[in-house]
Structure 1
Amino acid sequence: MTLQMIGCSHHDAAVEIREQLSFSSEHCAQALATFGERFDGAELVVLSTCNRVELYAAGGPFGSGLTASESGAGSLSDDQVRNALIDFVAACLEKPADFVGKHMIVRQGREAVDHLFLVAASLDSMVVGEAQILSQVKQAYDLSNVAGATGPLTHAAFQAANRAAKRVQTETTIHRRRLSVPSVAVGEVVPEVFETLRGKRVVLCGAGEMAEETLRYLKTGGSDNLCIVNRGQERAQALAQVFGADTRSLNELHEQIVAADLLIGTTSAEEPLVDAATFAQLNARRGGRILLVLDLAVPRDFEPVIGDEPGVYLYQIDDLQAACNRNRREREKQWPRAKAILDEEVNRFFESLQQRATGPVIQRLRQRADQVKSAELQRLLDKLNGCTDASMTKEIEKSFDRLTNKLLHPPMASLRDDAAAGHSRGLLEALRHLFNLGDDL
């Protein structure tokens, strides 16, 4: 049995293409419900995110609507598999097959497993080391389980991919380096000034995308006293509802600065929100309390000279971007170690599959060979009728053992190699028939 994958990602398809090929929840439900019927009990997992659309399949004949009995042995050529997967995606999304075939790549066997492990460990992500993709892979697998669309190979592959990703997380630092400006600001700078965000008054200026991302990190970091200051209240109130914050208009910013412990700028204003002289007056009213200012805006929301005020710690976007760049370089250093871990886990996965698939056949083949050897050895000894002593009988037995082992070695080695390649040459079935080993294995 071989794992198949058809998909595209940010590496090879622009966002406008990925949008047309994405699987909504309805598309996923339809695909999971119909795949096994169309391909005679085949397995399927659908992974669809903003950066990738990938379908992982196993089992079944992968013919154009054929059942296993209709397709003979049920095994198809690479081209037949590719065309069947393309046709299935095209039918699910109601897109032309030519369009799907042009923009989606088909991977098979080890290449598909390698890719799945890279994806789960976030080594194939737009931001290498981001944590979200592993949970997305697990959710896709869980959804297929609930739909009854998984089977032996998808179970084994996705569970092994999860274990491999966890090893990368624990044995490298590739996931521990923050790469976005808000994540560095909240995750690395804030702890240098405050032991905790709980109880600290956080005043965030702006309500755009940078503000929203920053709010996510603030809430994750334990912030429980948030205030969003924005010129337009509608957007600010929408964010406040999501993140449990209160809102103030820009006219109230001065009073909020006096009350703040952490002040964050994320607006798109052309001029600083507060001039240096006014900020000095406001800081004088703070009674010497520490104020951390994170200016994430371009142009800057606060003049650099406010960092000279007593008790004020100012970090501007260039400082934070430099930290992001350092972190990115550190992640890149960890990539070879992470990839080596995945290679180990892929090899272990195929060794497990090989043992599971070839073990019974090899055992039966050896049993059959031992039966023939024993019968022929006994026939020879009977003919010799006691003409050999014990030591000569032992040598004859050893010769029969060596002959059997030498005859069995090539087919067994070929069978193991074929299993590691996903049984692409069909040797497992060939051995069953050639040596009459039975179909119950």
Structure 2
Amino acid sequence: MTLQMIGCSHHDAAVEIREQLSFSTEHTEQALSSFGERFDGAELVVLSTCNRVELYAAGGPFGSGLIASEAASGSFSFDEVRKALIDFVAECLEKPADFVAEHMAVRQGREAVDHLFLVAASLDSMVVGEAQILSQVKQAYDLSNVAGATGPVTHAAFQAANRAAKRVQTETTIHRRRLSVPSVAVGEVVPEVFETLRGKRVVLCGAGEMAEETLRYLKNGGSDNLCIVNRGQERGAALASNFGAQSKPLDDLFEEIVAADLLIGTTSAEEPLVDADTFARLNAQRGGRIMLVLDLAVPRDFDPVIGDETGVYLYQIDDLQAACNRNRREREKQWPKAKRILDEEVDRFIASLQQRATGPVIRKLRERADQVKSAELQRLLDKLNGTTDAAMTKEIEKSFDRLTNKLLHPPMASIRDDAAAGHSRGLLEALRHLFNLGDET
């Protein structure tokens, strides 16, 4: 039971290459519907994100052995697997096969399983430990299920990858350490001041990339009273519309500061948006309410002196960046522990697949031996023609059972050991042919 993967990611392909190889919703639907028809009985899951494009395949003509060197009769060799997957991707995306071959690598067997587990657990991500990738892996698997493109191997592999990722989440702190300035600001600093963002007036200055990322964290954190203040009204209004926020011109900033509970700066202004004296007058109008100020801008949007105002808690970019650096170091410390967990889960998954491939052959061998034993035992009893009593007949039956078990024990033990070693000696196929057990599993 082999898992195959063809793909590329931010590790080995620039964004302009990934854009050309990405699978749109239409491409994905087409691939899932046509793969099983093109490769009879084959399974497919398509994972396409901004940082990676990966197709996971199994079943059908792709082989029943987990290791590439042990391709069952009728299965593809590794070179044939590679060519088949490259040609399939090239046709789906209408790209030259040479272009696909140059930028997409093919992994097979344990290497493909190990990669899937690393991806699901976010150890292969651009930002190690980011939480989004596991949901993307699950969505890709669910979409394949709905399309009827999954099967025994992809079911087992993606469910096991999900369990492995959950273990990494619960047994390490690699996912609990925020690495971006907005994520630290909203996820770690805000809870120190406010129990909840619901009902709090949040005033965000700016409408660039930093503002957009900050808004995502604010919305995820439950913020429901957002106002974007920006010099360019068109950009501010567009961003506000995307996040269900209000949009105000920069001229309204002073009024918004009086109303704000949380004030955030993300602009690219060369000078502070409000000087210390003006801020002091505005703060005096707030009736002593607590204000948290997050200055995420470079140059800074607010004079650091405002942090001395009564009821004002100011965090600047350097404070937050230092927290990011500490978190990154803590994540790096957790990486080896997370990798050990994944190695354990990959070993467990590989062993279960190997046993699943071995079990039917052992069962057929046992059934064949029992058939021969029963036939020979009956022939002997017929020849004895009732000259033995019940006790003697029982003893003869036990002797036949012992003989059969002793003859079967060495090949069964060897094939189990070979399975644990990854079928490296090819005993499974040898046993099928030697005892004429057929190729079905």
> Hey, what's the Cα distance between the residues in 1 that align with 2:410 and 2:439?
26
> What secondary structure sits across from 2:23 in the alignment?
coil
**1:39-97 C-alpha deviation (Å, 9 max, x unpaired):** 1221111100000000001122259xxxxxxx994212111111111111111111111
**Displacement after TM superposition at 1:332 (Å):** 1.4
State the Cα deviation string for residues 329-365 of structure 1 (Å, max 9, x = none).
1111211221122112112212221222211211332
Aligned to 2:68: none
CA contact (8 A) 1:119 1:125 kept: yes
1:133 partner amino acid: I
By how many angstroms is 1:257 displaced?
1.0
Bigger shift: residues 149-158 or 359-368: 359-368
Residue-by-residue CA offset, 1:174-221 (whole Å, 9 max, x unaligned): 111111111111111111111111221111100111111111111121
CA distance in 2, matches of 1:55, 1:10: 15
Q: Is the 8 A contact 2:45 2:150 kept in 1?
A: yes
1:113 match: 113
Residues 228 and 240 of structure 2 are in contact (CA less than 8 Å); yes or no, is this contact kept in structure 1? yes
- The 5 A counterparts of 1:302-317 are 302-317=302-317
Q: Which residue of 2 aligns with 1:260?
A: 260
2:348 aligns with: 348
Q: Which amino acid aligns with 2:410?
A: K
What is the letter of the counterpart of residue 174 of structure 1?
A: I
Question: CA contact under 8 A between 1:377 and 1:400: conserved in structure 2?
Answer: no
Confirm or deny: 8 A CA contact 1:60 1:74 kept in the other structure. Answer: no
CA distance in 1, matches of 2:438, 2:324: 61
101-110 or 398-407: bigger deviation = 398-407
Matches for 1:417-432 after TM superposition, within 5 Å? 417-419=421-423, 427-432=427-432
Counterpart CA distance in 1 for 2:415 and 2:306 is: 78
Change (3 A) 1:99 1:410: same
8 Å CA contact 1:362–1:412 kept in 2: the answer is no
The question of 1:30 aligning with 2:52 is answered: no
2:413 to 409, 422, 429: 409
Instruction: Figure out how many residues of one structure are paired with residues of the other and give that number.
Output: 425
Tell me, what secondary structure is at the counterpart of 1:61? helix
Identical pairs, percent = 82
Equivalents in 1 of 2:144, 2:83: separation in Å? 23
Structure 2 segments unaligned to the other structure (5+ residues):
64-70
The 2-side partners of 1:173 and 1:72 are apart by: 42
Q: What TM-score do the two structures reach when normalised by structure 1?
A: 0.88
Answer yes or no: is the 8 Å Cα contact 2:45–2:149 preserved in 1.
yes
Query: Which runs of 5 or more structure 1 residues have no equivalent in the other structure?
Result: 64-70
Change (3 A) 1:257 1:343: same
Do 2:73 and 2:439's aligned partners in 1 also have CA atoms closer than 8 Å? no
**Contact 1:377–1:397 (Cα < 8 Å) also in 2:** no
Q: In structure 1, what is the equivalent of residue 67 of structure 2?
A: none
| Residue in 2 that maps onto 1:233 | 233
**CA-based RMSD:** 2.8
The answer on whether the counterparts of 1:174 and 1:334 sit within 8 Å (CA) in structure 2 is yes
- Provide the residue aligned with 1:66 in structure 2: none
Q: Distance in 1 between matches of 2:428 and 2:75?
A: 13
Residues of 2 paired with 1:438 and 1:74: CA distance?
12
Is contact 2:199-2:224 (8 Å) kept? yes
Aligned residues of 2:351 and 2:419 also touching (Cα < 8 A): no
Residues 217/42 of structure 1: CA separation in 2 closer, same or farther (3 Å cut): same
Equivalent-residue separation in structure 2 for 1:219 and 1:126 (angstroms): 23
Structure 1 residues 395 and 435, CA gap change in structure 2 (3 angstroms)? closer
Code of the residue aligned with 1:223 in structure 2: it is S
Cα deviation, residue 23, structure 1: 0.8
For residue 417 of structure 1, what is the amino acid of its counterpart? A
8 Å Cα contact 1:373-1:400 kept in structure 2: yes
- Structure 1 residue 398: Cα displacement: 6.9
Q: What secondary structure sits across from 2:432 in the alignment?
A: helix
How far residue 367 of structure 1 moved from its aligned partner, in angstroms, is 4.5
Check whether the contact 2:7–2:106 (CA below 8 A) recurs between aligned residues: yes
* Contact 2:369–2:404 under 8 Å retained in 1: no
In 2, Cα distance between equivalents of 1:356 and 1:397 = 26
Deviation at 1:404, TM superposition (A): 4.5
Whether the 8 Å CA contact 2:120–2:165 is kept in 1: the answer is: yes
TM-score by length of 2: 0.88
Shift of 1:368: 3.9
Cα distance change of structure 1 residues 186 and 407 upon mapping to structure 2, 3 Å threshold: closer
CA distance in 2, matches of 1:427, 1:52: 38
Deviation by residue 1:385-440 (Cα, 9 ceiling, x = unmatched): 99xx9xxx999997885555235433443355345x6xxx7643442231123455
Whether the 8 Å CA contact 1:418–1:427 is kept in 2: the answer is no
Question: Which residue in the other structure is 2:287 paired with?
Answer: 287
